[in-house]
Amino acid sequence: MNETILTLEQRFGARLEAHRRDSLVFVSVPADRAAQAVAWLRDRGGFTHLVMISCVDWIERGTFRLLYLLSSPQERRDIGVYVDIPRDAPSMESIHHLWAGAKVYQRELREMFGIDFPGSPGVNDPMILEGWHDIPPMRRDFDTLAYAERTYYPREGRSTRDPAADTAERVYPTDEELRRGIADLARRTYPGGSKDGES
Amino acid sequence: MSTAARQTDPWYPVWAERPSFDLASGKYLKIWQGPQHPGVSGNMALELTVEGDIVRDCRAHVGYLHRGFEKLMERRKYMNCFPIVCRICVPEPDFNEHLFASAVEELAGIEIPERAKWIRTLTLELARIAFLTMGLGGQAGSFGLGTVGQWCIVHRDYVLDLFEELTGHRIYHMYIIPGGLRHDLTPGFAERTEAVLRKIEKLMDEVQKVLFDNAVIMSRTDGLGVIPRPWVDPYGIAGTNARAAGSSRDVRSDSPYLVYDDLDFAPIVGERSDAYGRSLLRKREILMSAGLIRRILSRIPDGPVRVKLPNPLHWKVPAGETFVRAESGRGEMGYFMVSDGTGFPRRVHVRGPSYTHAMALFEELVRGVSIADVAGLMASLQICPPEIER
């Protein structure tokens, strides 16, 4: 693994980010050389299995951090290749020519984070979201609560209660209730309860 | 390039081969299988272009089950994520619980007790049996052999009875938590497990006679959806689909987790890579899991099942990232987790084996298959749509 990291550092300007365990390290590679580095790992490094392509939105740094997680079935090791791309113009070279399964991940990243992968087959086709007109939902600045309030209507017959007041009212008996006993308390907590309870 | 050449060149760009069809010619017809259809394993839709009753092209559509689990987890404390993660795959929730818990444990530097490791392995193997048995029933049902389907569902329910006794729940167990397990085994659990395992072994004898020795099944599954061995890497094929194709890849032996190091076993590698071979391999894996469970039950050490955790409502996991994986019934399942040092996970990405099986691989395998066999092919890949959408 050390030789692989050394080669990545020398040839592709990689930097070791984290050494989680002997079989799993994370390196970061500049965006313009990332596809080459990933291709080198596949063809020369023995990392023939693409486990996943993922993305972390570091909104405070203004970057998306892409992750290409590769696995070497022979050496039984994994390497995560991080690629930082700017958040305001997110675009990355496609690797669909390296792994047939990569186009699916890229299509999902396009939809969920708005990252473009020019040339990837069907990358602009909606995958999970249909008729979506908001900002990509997996971005950190997507407000799920505001979206839900705007999109869905409150159902008839439902009311919202304050959790603290509701707990105090329903769970803890008042002094008067304690004096009158448990049967009265049960009647009030479960109004219209079973016949057994009323008898 | 010919099919033979495509099969010998593992990195041949099959994506570039998508042909176009002139629907106006009247020669081709577009039909939809799903999203509500008995021949689709879960809620997903197949957009099929057919010529006569032969499928010429297919596009798989997902999105009918999207609940935004990964997004929800970003706004929840680590412990609050457990009711979510188990719902990512309905037939096999335990793998999600174990992987989420072990990712948190790795980031937080928690070592779980030895007994908890053994019992976790036991629950994972029981989950594999439950899923593979149901999958075998689904495979039989997709070819019109509903009787075997019902036998298999009943026997899965026997395993769910064990889960109900152990965890209090039948489907979503929420039994595995960071630091170990919620509670210990119940008294007499081993004996009742043994009784269920005997029932399942007896069922497998009957399934062999009714399903695998059935002339109709043999002729319909023969050569259906053959996965060439060189496709395993380009398509990211895992689990029984890869092992039936001749790969010996099994996370349990390749990167042993929990106590798989102590269990002497070798992955089963199949000889046939069509629907028949994959189903037969699954039957053998059910029997192998039964053997593993017996070995686990005879060796579980005494001791605690949980370590003391910080207050889960004020628990801050140290910053960092990790990836953990396990061998589920469908293949390699993994969790990538990033913590930024707060009480909430910064990012959780679930890698389910169905992701590439359903989208890239299935679209390729279904070309040239009869419409009647599409359901059988889908069942033979054991596709689980909920984990595609997360």
- Whether cis (ω within 30° of 0) applies to the bond prior to B35 is yes
Residues of A with CB below 8 A from B355's CB?
Answer: 52, 101, 104-105
The DSSP secondary structure of B134-200, one letter per residue, reads HHHHHHHHHTT-HHHHHHHHHHHHHHHHHHHHHHS-SS----EETTEESS-PPTTHHHHHHHHHHHH
Are B206 and B263 contained in the same domain?
A: yes
For residue B16, the 8-state DSSP code is: G
Nearest beta carbon to residue B15 from set A96, A129, A144: A96
Q: Is A57 in CB contact (< 8 Å) with chain B? A: yes
- Coil, helix or strand for B282? helix
Query: Is B321 close to A104, i.e. CB distance below 8 A?
Result: no
User: Do B161 and B43 sit in the same domain of this protein?
Assistant: no
Do residue B141 and residue B184 come from a single domain?
Answer: yes
Q: Nearest C-alpha of chain B: how many angstroms from A68? A: 11
Domain shared by B339 and B380, yes or no = yes
User: Residue B233 half-sphere exposure, CB side, CA atoms within 13 Å?
Assistant: 17
Closest of A69, A77, A81, A71 to residue A37, by C-alpha = A81
Task: Verify that B85 and B230 share a domain, yes or no.
Answer: yes
* Predicted pLDDT of residue A56: 94
List chain B residues with CB under 8 Å of A98: 11
**Domains present along chain A, CATH in parentheses:** 2-151 (3.30.460.80), 163-198 (no CATH)
Beta bridge pairs of residue B225? none
- Each residue's pLDDT expressed in tens, for chain A with a length of 199 residues: 788 888 888 888 888 888 888 889 999 999 999 999 999 999 888 899 999 999 999 999 999 999 999 999 888 899 999 999 999 989 999 998 888 888 889 999 999 999 999 988 888 888 888 888 888 999 999 988 888 888 887 777 777 778 788 777 767 777 777 777 767 666 666 666 554 544 3
Are B33 and B131 members of one domain? no
> Of B52 and A182, which is predicted with more confidence?
B52
Residues of B with CB under 8 A from a CB of A: 11, 13-15, 18, 62-63, 66, 68, 70-71, 74-75, 106, 233-236, 247, 249, 254-255, 320-323, 325, 332, 334, 336, 338, 346-347, 349, 351, 355-356, 359-361, 364, 389
The domain total for chain B is 2
Of B74, B254, B364, nearest to A76 by CB-CB distance is B254
Q: With contact defined as beta carbons under 8 Å apart, do B48 and B32 qualify?
A: yes
Q: CB–CB of B347 and A96 under 8 A?
A: no
First to last CA, chain B: 37
State in Å, rounded, how far the first CA of chain A is from the last one: 75
Which residues of chain A from 151 to 170 reach within 8 Å of chain B, CB to CB? none
Interface test with B, best of A104, A130, A144 (most B CBs within 10 A): A104
Answer whether residue B3 shows pLDDT above 60: no
pLDDT at residue A197, rounded to an integer: 43
Interval B125-142: pLDDT, tens: 999 999 999 999 999 988
Q: What is the pLDDT of residues B305-345, one digit of tens each?
A: 999 888 888 888 999 999 999 999 888 999 999 999 888 99
Tokens of B34: 């799903």
Q: Do B15 and A129 touch (CB under 8 A)?
A: no
Q: Does A99 touch chain B (CB under 8 A)?
A: yes
Closest CB to B349: pick one of A20, A54, A142: A54
The answer to whether the beta carbons of residues B6 and B14 sit under 8 Å apart is yes
B75 in the same domain as B123: yes
Sheet strands side by side (includes A77-86): A15-21, A24-28, A77-86, A63-72, A49-58
Tell whether the model's pLDDT for residue B7 goes beyond 70.
Answer: no
Residue A101: which of B11, B255, B356 has the nearest Cβ?
B356
Do B53 and B88 reside in the same domain of the chain?
no
Per-residue pLDDT reduced to its tens digit, B282-299: 999 999 999 999 999 999
> Most B CBs within 10 Å: which of A71, A82, A152, as the mutation test of the B interface?
A71
- Show which of B16, B40, B61 is a domain's final residue: B61
Does this complex have an ipTM over 0.85?
A: yes
| Chain B CB within 8 Å of residue A96 CB | yes
Q: Are residues B218 and B248 in the same domain?
A: yes
Mark which of B61, B95, B111 sits at the end of a domain.
Answer: B61
Which residue is associated with the tokens 């749509």?
A: B385
B17 with B90, same domain: the answer is no
Q: Is B352 helix (H, G, I), strand (E, B) or coil?
A: coil
Q: How far is B255 from chain A (nearest CA, A)?
A: 7
Whether residue B91 sits in one domain with residue B24: no
pTM tops 0.80, yes or no: yes
Q: Among residues B33, B61, B89, which one ends one of the domains?
A: B61
Minimum-distance CB partner of B63 among A57, A98, A128:
A128
Q: Which of B70, B336, B360 sits opposite A103 (nearest CB)?
A: B360
CA distance A31 to A49: 21
What range does the domain containing B331 cover?
69-389
CATH code of B341's domain: 1.10.645.10
State whether B332 and B370 are in the same domain.
Answer: yes
Min Cα distance A176 → chain B (Å) is 35
